[in-house]
Amino acid sequence: MTPEDGRIIPAEAQANASRVKQKVIDCDVHHALRSGRDLLPYMATRWHAHLEEFGRRRPVPFIASSPYPKTAPALSRTDSWPPNGGPPGSDLAFLQEQLLDRYNIEYGMLHLLMSGMDERNQDFGNATCSAINDWQYENWTQKDQRLKAAIVVPGEDPPAAVREIARWAGNPDFAQVSMVTHAIEPLGRRRYWPIYEAAQAHNLPIGLHSSGNNGHAVTGTGWCGFYVEEQHNVALSQQQLAISLVCEGVFERFPKLKAVIIEAGYVWVPSVAWRLDQHYKRMHREMPHLTRKPSDYFRSHLWYSSQPADEPERPEDLRTVLDWIGWDRLLFSTDYPHWDMDNPEQAFKLRLSEAEQKMIYNENARAVYGLA
């Protein structure tokens, strides 16, 4: 069989890929601010004036656009703009209708694609993170108990991040701690460890959704030309993020810490782990802080959200890859309302058993996040 043959999905697989049988835990739902002003009620008046005069200061070229224009306005499905106005994801009722009710979502894990962590004015960044958390709590999680927020922390100021974690830890509306992934240093580096210490102490996983801006080139060899590259390169960065957490020894120092890599796919995990194991044989003396081979940490401390669903040329290859990764590591996600959202009814071009569906759509996430 050649790879070309695999492009045709057998009718049998199509027929069986249809309905999801149990309730879904969606590990990547994007709510949104109607505008930056939504945060003002949660910020000291000093910052109202600041926002008016100076605005946000991040290491990006444009005030209100990406240097890699996306494939759709607001990165979103064209039908996801709420009828009552505001950007996609900003209207709770419409999000309930289009996502939570439509797809039998038991829990939706919220990820705001905005943070104070990559704000260069650190006090403003800290205030922004706190305001985001207050806003999420009052307007989202308190209004629909299916929604679980992430504690957005200003990771470049670890003491402030630890204070923010302490402010929300124990509140069942918050299921994880969230940092931008394009931080100033790779997130395994020691400056971020106080955050991991606090997360572990409060039994909160770290949720790492591709996000943020740090001024570094989008690849190890410079800036690419197109969004079609950048979208993929951001996922490659997430691979390097996992490498950083493993190699810098985060899971040795914090053995109960869990990290979830979000919106990077997952089929890359085996080859990254094999590569680390292979070269660890030659370079392990550089890193005596590791007591196990790198792949072991992938198996015990890292989880991956599913979207965008990887599509092997031969659908059955996905089974091989999931056997390599471990079926307990994969968490279903839609990425609603973004243009490349995965529909839980059609995300896998592979016939999954009922038990496999149960793990991927529900039980794995329930275990990671300790959901009731």
Partner 1 sequence: MSQPAAHIAQGIAQGIAGGIDCDVHPAIPGMAALLPYLDPYWQEQVAVRGIDGLDLSSFPPQMAAHGRADWRDKGEKPGTSLARLRADALDGFGTQLAICNPLYGVLAIYNEHFAAALARAINAWLAAEWLDRESRLRGSITVATQNPELAVDEIERCATDPRFVQVLLLNQGDTPLGNRRFWPIYAAAERHGLSIGIHAGSIFRHATTSNGWPSYHLEDYAAHAQSFQSNLLSLVHEGAFTRHPGLIFVMIESGFTWLPTFLWRANKTWRGVRAEVPWVDRPPSEYIRDHVRFTLQPTDAPPTGADMARLLAMIGRDNMLLFSTDYPHWQFDGDNVWPDGFSNALKRRVLRDNPMNAYPRLKEALQ
Q: Considering only residues 201-230, where is the footprint of partner 1 by CB under 8 A? A: 214, 216-229
- The residues facing 105 across adjacent strands are 24
- The least CB distance from residue 187 to partner 1, in Å, is 7
Segment interacting with partner 1 (CB under 8 A) among 40-48, 119-127, 138-146, 273-281: 273-281
Asked if 164 and 151 touch (Cβ cutoff 8 Å), the reply is: yes
Q: Which stretch binds partner 1 (CB under 8 A): 117-125, 138-146, 233-241, 251-259?
A: 233-241
Q: Which is nearer to partner 1, 88 or 188 (CB)?
A: 188
Contact between 274 and partner 1 (CB under 8 A)? yes
CA distance 31 to 13: 33
Q: Given the complex with partner 1, which of 236 and 371 has the nearer CB atom? A: 236
Number of residues that bind partner 1 (CB under 8 A): 73
Q: Which is nearer to partner 1, 40 or 287 (CB)?
A: 287
- Distances, alpha carbon 181 to alpha carbons 83, 103, 236, 238, 282, in Å: 33, 29, 12, 8, 29
DSSP for 13-53, please give it: HHHHTS---S-EEEEEE----SSGGGGGGGS-HHHHHHHHH
**Binding flag, residue 189, partner 1 (CB under 8 A):** yes
> What part of residues 309-348 is at the interface with partner 1 (CB under 8 A)?
310-314, 317, 320-321, 324, 339-340
Distances (CA, A) of 326 to 70, 265, 368, 372: 33, 14, 14, 23
Residues within window 2-31 making contact with partner 1, judged by CB under 8 A = 2-3
- 346 within 8 A of 308, measured Cβ to Cβ: no
Among 71, 300, 343, 346, binds partner 1 (CB under 8 A): 71
| CA-wise closest residue to 51 among 111, 112, 131 | 131
Report the phi/psi class of residue 213: left, alpha or beta, with left for phi > 0 and alpha for psi in -120 to 50: beta
Which one, 139 or 214, has the nearer CB to partner 1? 214
Residue choice 243, 250, 322, 350 for contact with partner 1 (CB under 8 A): 243
Q: How far, in Å, are 47, 126, 277 from residue 70 at the CA level?
A: 30, 28, 36
Please, what is the minimum distance in Å from the beta carbon of residue 100 to partner 1? 25
The reply to whether 356 sits near partner 1 by the rule CB under 8 A is: no
Under the criterion CB under 8 A, does residue 77 sit at the interface with partner 1? no
